[in-house]
Chains A and B, each alone.
Chain A
């Protein structure tokens, strides 16, 4: 329940933050990497650091993460297939071999079919996701955004303590 409340808080907090649509969209894109790829991997530490350090919407990142976790589970067979095709492609064998024998790189588990497949998918999906999200946020803000902001529901939501934590990282 708390997670759900936090998610809703994140959603509305992000949508009504002072950040630009681009910041929110970039946050969601970075969050989608966390959701689409298996979490406990080195590249996700880099993504998380980027989410924290870059001036993007952290709430958007959390939102993207939460939204894309189930999608990641659903698309695992596709990721497995993509990874399989890439890792066993004869033309890429030299690249993977040099990656595999380079320090640190193997710790990313790039040589796992699901990890590589999901990462490549997330990478390719990032550009359309960014533009789509930015357009959607703009539409939201110019249509129902103001009405929601004045609603009791929103005021109750933003009054909770969790919102204060969120404010620390708002753009």
Chain B
């Protein structure tokens, strides 16, 4: 029997099925595209992306997005941007290659930093995906600048207890004591080995005989001469021992000096345990404004690093996390090709936005973005952004066309009311009022150079109620409350992994001089207290060792001097008696 290959009667139902699928797609395409856009946007930015309305008009190559909200990846209840309406002109043909080419986007009613009711951070909470990893990296990067909080308000100089085990004088004293004992034993042994007793006794006996001898008593004279020789040899041995003792004593003395050095080190160590408010103006600037100054750098770096991940230079295959689905997402690999279209490209975007939308007279601005693409090497030109308007000039360029990416951004924004913030370590609140902020940022390969500055002429200070009881707090309040100008500048430079941060402000000197005046005495007293603590701990050990060293040294030297005197005396008497008997001067 011949089996037919095709089941022709199923063509009808299959066509019906495809038609139904087509109708369903037509009905739900907007919803599917909206959900997909939300999902992809959220994944890319690491923050919730919400779209109220999305309409696909593929026949005319238009996409209309209404009510776009992108949450801030860094702040819990804040939006990064909201847009009333976005209209995009897209190329339809590249969609068949799964490539999204947007010729022009017109974005109206953009608003930045608006509040939201729910926490829109995704990457910060899950830590998944590229955005999660970049966020974690930039947070770690920013954490290297953490600055110890100053105890300015309380003005307290607190100390940690001194651990005797960490003092160097105590083990040094123990070692010196052992060395003194060992020297003492060695010297005593050397002294005993001199055997001076028999020499002295025989010399005394020879002297006694010589006293009663005559000039012709040659035996007595010879015996006396031999005794003198023995005395001379004994004195040489004593001299040699004395030299050893002197050397040993010098070493012990240097050991005593070493104890003093160890004591000074211990003082320094104890001083390091003091928690002192910094009295240097730059340190105060870094402590007071550092945390606020690092935040903009961290945020700009986050977006720059995201751009580098999503817009890498070169044409090598790029793997990224696949679409989320019930099955494993896997990785999706893109294969850019020379002279082909990139996977994503926004040729031009015209932005119209409001700043301070909640104020009575919100200001309107215009901006333009060109060349935003997933494959800069294919597009061949850097991504550029510029915006201008009343008191605003901003620009950015992401140049990933060559092997080493260069990202630059700069903005000057005036007349913006910055939020009041608590000054770290001080119960003071600083309200910068309407300020001018400047940001400059360059990331050339792995070298960063950035500057953030805030200038205001209408600063207001408020203090907490607890501040009134603090003398230091009062002084700082006096120092800063009369200052109405604020000029803060933070600079960052060097290798991206370990850049140098320098923060200065016009308040640094004012606070520092007040602190220096008041805290100087407290610091001196605290240092003396620490020195006393160290002394109390080490004197019990060092004092006896010092005495022992002196005792050993004196004892040895006295012993030697005594014996040498006896030797000299006997020799002198023998020589004198011999001269009397022979009247010949001995050589």
Contacts and interface: CB of A to CB of B under 8 A. Distances in A.
Interface of A: 20, 23, 38, 40, 49, 52-55, 72-73, 76-77, 79-80, 83-84, 87-88, 93, 96-107, 109, 111-115, 117, 168-169, 171
B333 A38 contact: no
Contacts of B93: 103
Interface of B: 3-7, 10-11, 13-14, 17, 93, 96-99, 317, 319, 322-323, 325, 327-337, 340
Nearest to B17: A52
Contacts of A111: 332-335
A88 B96 contact: no
Given A52-B7, A80-B328, A107 B98 contact: yes
B327 A76 contact: yes
Which of A52, A100, A115 has the most chain B CB atoms closer than 10 A to its own CB? A100
Given A49-B14, A52-B14, A112 B332 contact: yes
B328 A114 contact: yes
21 contacts: A49-B14, A52-B17, A76-B330, A77-B328, A79-B330, A80-B331, A84-B331, A88-B317, A88-B319, A100-B337, A103-B97, A106-B97, A106-B98, A107-B96, A109-B332, A111-B332, A111-B334, A112-B330, A113-B331, A114-B327, A114-B328
B532 to A, nearest CB: 67
A52 B10 contact: yes
Which of B11, B317, B337 has the most chain A CB atoms closer than 10 A to its own CB? B317
Contacts of A23: 3
Contact of A93 (B5, B99, B317, B322): B317
B335 A100 contact: yes
A80 B97 contact: no
A23 B327 CA distance: 29
Contacts of A102: 97
B344 to A, nearest CB: 13
Given A87-B317, A106-B97, A54 B327 contact: no
Contacts of B17: 52
B87 to A, nearest CB: 26
A53 B334 contact: no
A101 B330 contact: no
A53 B11 contact: yes
A96 B317 contact: yes
B332 A38 contact: no
A55 B330 contact: no
A75 to B, nearest CB: 10
A23 B7 CA distance: 12
A96 B318 CA distance: 12
Contacts of B7: 52-55, 169, 171
B5 A72 contact: no
B9 to A, nearest CB: 9
B327 A73 contact: yes
B96 A52 contact: no
A31 B11 CA distance: 19
Nearest to A108: B98
Contacts of A40: 325
Given A38-B327, A55-B3, A88 B333 contact: yes
Given A53-B6, A102-B97, 9 more contacts: A38-B327, A83-B330, A88-B333, A93-B335, A97-B335, A97-B337, A101-B340, A103-B93, A113-B322
Given A101-B97, A111-B333, A20 B317 contact: no
Contacts of B329: 114
A168 B11 CA distance: 12
